[in-house]
Structures are given as C-alpha cells and as structure tokens.
C-alpha cells in the first residue's frame, strides 16, 4: 500500500548550498510515513496502547539530488513486508516532474516500551498499512569497519536533541557524522549513498558521544558514533566530487 503527499521545502531547512541536509531529508520521509500510519490507526498512539514502539535498525539511502529550499516535491512511502521480528519500509522523494531525487530502504523492529526489549512484530498493526508476511530476511550492503581512524570529534548532547522516546533523535547521527568531515569536505562533495546501522540509543546524560571517521578516498568515508566504549551506530558513505 503506497502513500504519498506533496511537501514544499521551507527556507529554514536550507544549508549553505541552498539544499536540505541528510537529516532533514530523512525526517521529511519519516513524517510522511507517520501520516500514513496515523491514517490507518497504526501509528505511535496505536502501538503505545499495546505497550510497544517502533525502533529503526538500519537504512540504505541513495541520493540523486538533494531537494532545494522552496521546492515542491512529492514524498512517498510503503510498508513492504515483515517477518517475525523485522518489518521493511521504503521511502522516496520525487521532484515536480516525477524525477526520483532520493530513496530510503529501512528496517524496523518493535520494542517493549517498559522493558526496552524486542517484541515479535504485531501483524494486526502492519497489516493495516499493507505489509505482507514474508519468511525471508532482506540483506543490506555490508558496512565496512574503520581501519585507519582519521577524525575524532566530540558532540555534546543538548536537551533539544532528545525526542519523545527519551533519547537522541537518530537523525542527529547524520549531522554528527557529516559535520565531523569539516566544511571544506562538505562544500567540495555531494552525498551519493549511505548505509547506517543503529546499535544503541544515546540518552541525555550519557558519556559525550564521539564521531569517529575514516577518509578512505575522495568518494568514500566510514563512520562510527561512540559513547565511551559503546558503539551507537556505524555507517559508510559514498560521495561525488564537485
């Protein structure tokens, strides 16, 4: 079951390039999926009644072009399938002419809000948005480990980084990872794709998160967010030089 809506990118989401950031791109797509879930009584309130919540575990993101400020785009999403513990959802953004700007493939799990442990996927919830049961596990590109650390950048967790679940909004991880590369790199490169795997939430008061990065080449970087010795997320990005 596909769902889409039009969205005009507000000027206050603009970067120095006049386009939106990766974290904003993801948030716009997630907002659209929230609208679909709420429309079918499968969103946060419906899950909360069952003592459960959604948690993202992995994204595969491709970017042909970042949306520009004031641009009118069409944002779409679809819950594709689920198995015992995982459910898969796609997202996309098209320009006004129907050209594909960006896509996301995401893997989600259900978590017990009290114990913070995984729950089996509740079929009565995902069926409401058209997800089909499948026995297969979708394979994402393998995230390569950092071999030669190039960058270590600390980031203070601010009060307004925390979302309603009590931990850092996972979109901020994108900001930390990209920002650690520095202004010169970001001005001279455009993102092509990213694979990210979330391992552990960052909470307010946790040890200072550190963005660790490796500049593998002009077109590849590897990333890790750590709190002390704990790995919170790992990612790899591919780029095009400008």
Mean pLDDT along residues 173-178: 96
Structure-model confidence comparison of residues 164 and 211, the more confident one? 211
pLDDT tens-digit map of 75-85: 999 999 999 99
Dump pLDDT digits (tens) for 186-234: 999 999 999 999 999 888 878 889 999 999 999 999 999 999 899 999 9
The mean predicted confidence, pLDDT, of the chain is 94
pLDDT of residue 112: 92
What are the b/e assignments for 179-193, b being 16+ CB within 10 Å? ebbeeebbeebbbee
Q: Which two tokens stand for residue 121?
A: 């996927």
Question: pLDDT of 100-123, one tens digit each?
Answer: 999 999 999 999 988 989 999 999
| All residues at 6 or more sequence positions from 230 whose CB lies less than 8 Å from its CB, including other chains | 199, 200
Q: In terms of DSSP H, where are the helices of 70-226?
A: 123-126, 171-179, 183-188
Q: Dihedral (C-alpha) 163, 190, 90, 146: value to the nearest 10 degrees? A: -70
Cβ contact 106:51 at 8 Å: no
The yes-or-no verdict on residue 5 having pLDDT over 90 is yes
Residue 209: its pLDDT value, please?
A: 93
Is the pLDDT reported for residue 93 higher than 80? yes
For residue 164, pLDDT beyond 80:
no
Q: pLDDT (tens digit, 9 = 90+) per residue, 6-44?
A: 999 999 999 999 999 999 999 999 999 999 999 999 988
- Crossing angle of helices 171-179 and 22-39, in 10° steps, is 170
Helix (H, G, I), strand (E, B), or coil: what is residue 25? helix
Give me the domains of the chain, ranges plus CATH numbers.
2-133 (3.10.129.10), 151-241 (3.10.129.10)
Whether the predicted pLDDT of 59 surpasses 80: yes
Mean pLDDT for the stretch of residues 36-61 = 93
HSE-CB at 191 with a 13 A cutoff on CA atoms is 29
How many Å is the Cα radius of gyration of the chain? 18
pLDDT level of residue 151 (50, 70, 90 thresholds): very high
Q: Residues 121-131: what's their mean pLDDT?
A: 94
DSSP assignment letter at 100 = E
- Please enumerate in sequence order all residues whose Cβ is within 8 A of that of 32, keeping only pairs 6 or more positions apart, or say none: 3, 4, 5, 7, 75, 76, 77, 91
What's the per-residue H, E or C state across 28-53? Answer: HHHHHHHHHHHHCCCCHHHHHHCCEE
pLDDT at 64 over 90: yes
Structure confidence by residue, pLDDT tens digits, 133-149: 998 889 999 999 999 99
């Amino acid at each position: 079951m596909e769902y889409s809506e039009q969205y005009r990118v507000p000027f206050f989401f603009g970067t120095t390039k006049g386009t939106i950031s990766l974290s904003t791109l993801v948030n716009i797509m997630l907002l659209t999926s929230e609208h679909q879930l709420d429309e079918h009584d499968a969103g946060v309130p419906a899950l909360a009644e069952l003592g459960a919540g959604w948690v993202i575990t992995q994204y595969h993101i491709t970017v042909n072009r970042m949306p520009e400020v004031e641009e009118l785009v069409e944002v779409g999403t679809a819950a594709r399938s689920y198995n015992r513990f995982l459910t898969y959802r796609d997202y996309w953004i098209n320009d006004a002419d129907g050209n594909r700007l960006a896509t996301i493939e995401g893997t989600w799990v259900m978590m017990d809000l009290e114990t913070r442990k995984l729950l089996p996927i509740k079929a009565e919830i995902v069926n409401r948005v058209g997800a089909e049961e499948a026995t297969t596990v979708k394979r994402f590109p393998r995230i390569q480990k950092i071999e030669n650390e190039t960058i270590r950048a600390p980031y203070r967790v601010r009060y307004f980084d925390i979302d309603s679940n009590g931990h850092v909004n996972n979109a901020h991880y994108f900001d930390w990872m990209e920002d650690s590369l520095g202004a010169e790199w970001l001005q001279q490169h455009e993102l092509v794709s990213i694979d990210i795997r979330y391992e552990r939430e960052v909470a307010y008061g946790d040890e200072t998160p550190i963005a660790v990065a490796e500049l593998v080449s002009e077109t590849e970087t590897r990333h890790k967010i750590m709190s002390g010795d704990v790995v919170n997320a790992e990612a790899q990005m591919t780029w095009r030089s400008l």
